[in-house]
Amino acid sequence: MSTLTDHLETLSNARGISGAETGVRRALRPLLEGHVDKLWVDGVGNLFAHKAGTGASPLRVLITAHMDEVGLMVVGHTGEGALRVDTVGSIAARVLPGLSVLVGEDALPGVIGVQAIHRANRGDLDKAPGTDKLAVDIGATGKDEAERLAPLGTPVVFATRFRQLGASCMGKAFDDRAGCTALVALLRGERFPFDLFGVFTVQEEVGLRGAQVAAYTVVPDVGIALEGTLADDLPKEEPDVSPTTELGKGPAITVMDRSYITPPRLLSHFVQVAEAEGLAYQFKQPGIGGTDSGGIHRARAGVPAITVAVPCRYIHSPVSMLRESDLAGLVSLVDVAARRLAPSILDRSA
């Protein structure tokens, strides 16, 4: 396994839902120490890594990747000792029944149990029950034990372990541990001509919150958000429909999503660099989803921003899948495109 997939494994297996990202911060620190000049955590939990530049460029560059994954949170306990949960971030109800989960700091194993098919009503087999009808069974024998083991607010994550399958990787939370892996790679590489602030942000999944704060702090000239984005590229009933992104076709550049629009000149810059270097790239289907660039671009007096992502199948579900070459491609594209940034590309009056 390469360093990249090694790091992806560590970060994918780390646990951290929105607002409870400690596990991911803990996994990130040792990967960064010694490679960056300063590491610190701010008031909302963003992990900042400063890598001073060579001095050749006057720019201040912010690159982000979000640490939080979507998951569940304990919101109540049943008399029988099961946990009532609600979603943190957006998860479709239909992926929950039958799910294996890990509960809390100590990763207690649990399951969102499903009634045996022998007893189910025919009519119910097609429906996805709402989260209020589901419960996590951790094997507790009563309410007291359940409350002790998993009090209100305890985070719950998918129990997926990372696996590599040839050219592909399978694991949870590639949105956005893939982005985090790419950012780690950039921070561990050669110094850039500019001052780089690599920020591992919090609470992207619940409102792009950490990124807004990070951009306010750094006051960058440009922001680049690294993501794991959706790929819906398997055969469908309607074949002539956008796949949003496709595995194996390189990093996906955002032209516009629901949270921001990439400035045209910054967009062309990334495209031109990719073409000049013969790097594979694709455009993500415009108008889908929101990313940290949505929080970054509106900070203070405004920041030109762009999101570039690794295509991942099945995001926001227990197991996602990506191609290693797309992840490596993201690192290469952002590395070269960032190094070639100049004030003239960012200046709107030129």
Partner 1 sequence: MDFELLDKLTQTFGPSGYEDGIRALIEETIVGLADEVRVDPLGSLVALRRGATGHEKLLLAAHMDEIGLMVTHVEEKGFLRFTSIGGVRAMNCVGGRASFANGATGSIYVEYREDASRVPDLNHLYIDVGATSRDDCPVRVGDTGTFVGPLVRQGTRLISKAMDDRIGCYLLIEVLRRLEQPAYDVYAVFTTQEEITLSGARTSAFRIDPDIAISLDVTATGDLPKSLPMAVGLGQGPAVKVKDAGMIAHPRVRDMLIDAAERAGVPYQLEILRGGSTDAAAMQLVRAGVPSGCLSIPCRYVHSTAEMVDISDVEQSIEVLLQLLQ
Write out the catalytic residue numbers.
Answer: 204
Site for partner 1 in 132-171 (CB under 8 A): none
Q: How far is CA 218 from its chain centroid?
A: 21
Query: If you search the block for the tokens 């992806």, which residue do you land on?
Result: 8
Query: Which letter does DSSP use for residue 329 in this model?
Result: H
Site for partner 1 in 301-340 (CB under 8 A): 301-304
Nearer of residues 97 and 243 to partner 1, judged by Cβ? 243
* Measured distance CA(214)–CA(184) in Å, rounded: 17
Site for partner 1 in 62-81 (CB under 8 A): none
Tell whether residue 287 is a contact of partner 1 (CB under 8 A): yes
Nearer of residues 63 and 299 to partner 1, judged by Cβ? 299
Identify the three-state secondary structure at position 228. Answer: strand
E strand spans, 78-213: 83-88, 100-103, 108-112, 136-137, 155-158, 163-165, 168-171, 195-201
Assess contact for 175 and 160: CB atoms under 8 A. Answer: no
Pick the piece of the chain touching partner 1 (CB under 8 A) from 116-124, 159-167, 173-181, 254-262.
254-262
Tell whether residue 349 is a contact of partner 1 (CB under 8 A): yes
Nearer of residues 158 and 260 to partner 1, judged by Cβ? 260
- When computed from its CA atoms, the radius of gyration of the chain, rounded to whole angstroms, is 21
- Which of 321, 307, 308, 314 has its CA nearest to residue 280? 308
Size of residue set near partner 1 by CB under 8 A: 29
Query: Which letter does DSSP use for residue 246 in this model?
Result: -
Instruction: Rule CB under 8 A: choose which of 264, 272, 276, 342 binds partner 1.
Output: 264
* Measured distance CA(109)–CA(98) in Å, rounded: 13
Instruction: Rule CB under 8 A: choose which of 10, 18, 262, 291 binds partner 1.
Output: 262
Nearer of residues 15 and 269 to partner 1, judged by Cβ? 269
Tell whether residue 285 is a contact of partner 1 (CB under 8 A): yes
- Which of 49, 73, 44 has its CA nearest to residue 61? 49
Least spacing, CB of residue 260 vs partner 1, in Å:
7
Tell whether residue 297 is a contact of partner 1 (CB under 8 A): yes
Handedness of CA 41, 44, 45, 51 (dihedral sign): negative
Instruction: Rule CB under 8 A: choose which of 298, 313, 316, 323 binds partner 1.
Output: 298
Nearer of residues 146 and 208 to partner 1, judged by Cβ? 208
- Which of 8, 4, 3 has its CA nearest to residue 320? 8
Instruction: Rule CB under 8 A: choose which of 259, 293, 307, 332 binds partner 1.
Output: 259
Q: Which residues in this chain contact partner 1 in the complex, by CB under 8 A?
A: 240-242, 255-256, 259-264, 267, 283, 285-287, 294, 297-304, 346-349
